[in-house]
């Protein structure tokens, strides 16, 4: 299967949130109770219930105000930092390019949250048996030959879905053909070894001002490997024991909860 990717064109996004709604519908994510914080962006951040978010940015110019809308979600890195720091293999980089998560392996350590430079993985803080949650690139749809729900729902072509190499060429083509319109930087082509989500942005809005982290080209697992090899063996053993204790506790709580649910249904 191809290494699939998104090319997201910020100049084409109208902030309709069709992708945001389609993501919630397909993944059966609950709505969130929010409050007005002085922005049209809603919810304010990604969460266990919101895996795709349209970010609103307002820039004051001499001639007036410019609005830019940016789709935010998992970048599905070519060499994911979250995968490299997970001690139990709960996160996996698949053959499609999608980074997915396995509930049955997770021990709740949340290292993936610290290992992601884009701050994407979120945690179910409101649950007794919490899991990590994030965009899966609609891996279930990819497995059936379907495109991700967000890309299918986009009405303006702001989200282009396809082969990563082909989309890199498409992104560069847009930038070269209209230098007066586009920022010369194709974000995601080389950041942290490359990502499966690529961005082209307006000429008068650099990626840092749009909230993207400024990152080098070095793949994150090369950093994490060098750091983890200096961790003393005793810490690894203690970590393994704590992980086992967490897993047993989680299993006990789950087994206890199941009869209560059956009784409630009756």
Q: The domain containing residue 134 runs over which residues?
A: 1-230
186, two tokens: 């194709």
- For 212-248, the pLDDT digits (tens) are 999 999 998 876 655 454 444 444 454 555 555 555 5
Q: Where are the alpha helices (DSSP H) in the chain?
A: 18-27, 81-85, 111-115, 139-142, 149-153, 164-177, 220-228, 233-265
Label residue 41 left, alpha or beta by phi (over 0 means left) and psi (-120 to 50 means alpha): beta
Q: Are 82 and 211 in a shared domain?
A: yes
Contact at 8 Å (CB) between 121 and 82? yes
As for how many domains the chain has, the answer is 2
Q: 86 and 172: one domain?
A: yes
Of 68, 26, 30, 55, nearest to 153 by C-alpha is 26
Query: What is the pTM for the complete model shown?
Result: 0.84
Residues 216 and 249 reside in one and the same domain = no
Residue 198 · residue 189 · CB < 8 Å: yes
Confidence tier at 263 by pLDDT (50, 70, 90): very low
- Whether residue 207 contacts residue 187, with contact meaning beta carbons closer than 8 Å, is answered with yes
Q: Do 24 and 46 touch, CB atoms closer than 8 A?
A: no
Is there a single domain that holds both residue 140 and residue 214?
yes
CATH number at residue 134: 3.30.70.20
- Rounded to an integer, what distance in angstroms lies between the CA atom of residue 132 and that of residue 142? 21
- Who contacts 105 (Cβ-Cβ below 8 Å, separation ≥6)? 88, 89, 90
Q: What are the tens digits of pLDDT across the range 84-107? A: 999 899 999 999 999 999 999 998
In this structure, the number of other CB atoms found within 10 A of the CB of residue 95 comes to: 9
């Amino acid at each position: 299967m191809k290494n699939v990717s998104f090319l997201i064109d910020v100049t084409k996004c109208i902030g309709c949130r069709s992708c945001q709604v389609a993501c919630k519908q397909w993944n059966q994510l609950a709505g969130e109770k929010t409050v007005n914080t002085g922005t049209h962006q809603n919810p304010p951040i990604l969460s266990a219930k919101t895996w795709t978010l349209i970010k609103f940015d307002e820039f004051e110019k001499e001639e007036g105000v410019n609005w830019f809308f940016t789709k935010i979600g998992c970048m599905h890195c070519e060499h994911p930092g979250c995968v490299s720091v997970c001690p139990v293999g709960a996160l996996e980089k698949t053959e499609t390019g999608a980074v997915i998560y396995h509930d049955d392996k997770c021990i709740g350590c949340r290292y993936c949250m610290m290992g992601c430079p884009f701050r994407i993985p979120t945690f179910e803080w409101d649950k007794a048996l919490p899991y990590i949650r994030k965009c899966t690139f609609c891996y279930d749809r990819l497995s059936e030959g379907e495109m991700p729900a967000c890309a299918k729902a986009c009405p303006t072509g702001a989200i282009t879905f396809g082969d990563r190499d082909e989309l890199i060429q498409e992104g560069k083509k847009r930038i070269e053909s209209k230098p007066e319109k586009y920022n010369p930087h194709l974000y995601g082509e080389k950041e942290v070894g490359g990502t499966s989500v690529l961005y082209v942005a307006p000429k008068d809005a650099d990626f840092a001002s749009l909230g993207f982290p400024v990152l080098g080209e070095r793949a994150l697992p090369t950093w994490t490997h060098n750091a983890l090899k200096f961790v003393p063996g005793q810490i690894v053993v203690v970590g393994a024991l704590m992980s086992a204790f967490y897993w047993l506790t989680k299993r006990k709580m789950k087994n206890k909860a199941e009869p209560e649910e059956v009784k409630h249904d009756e």
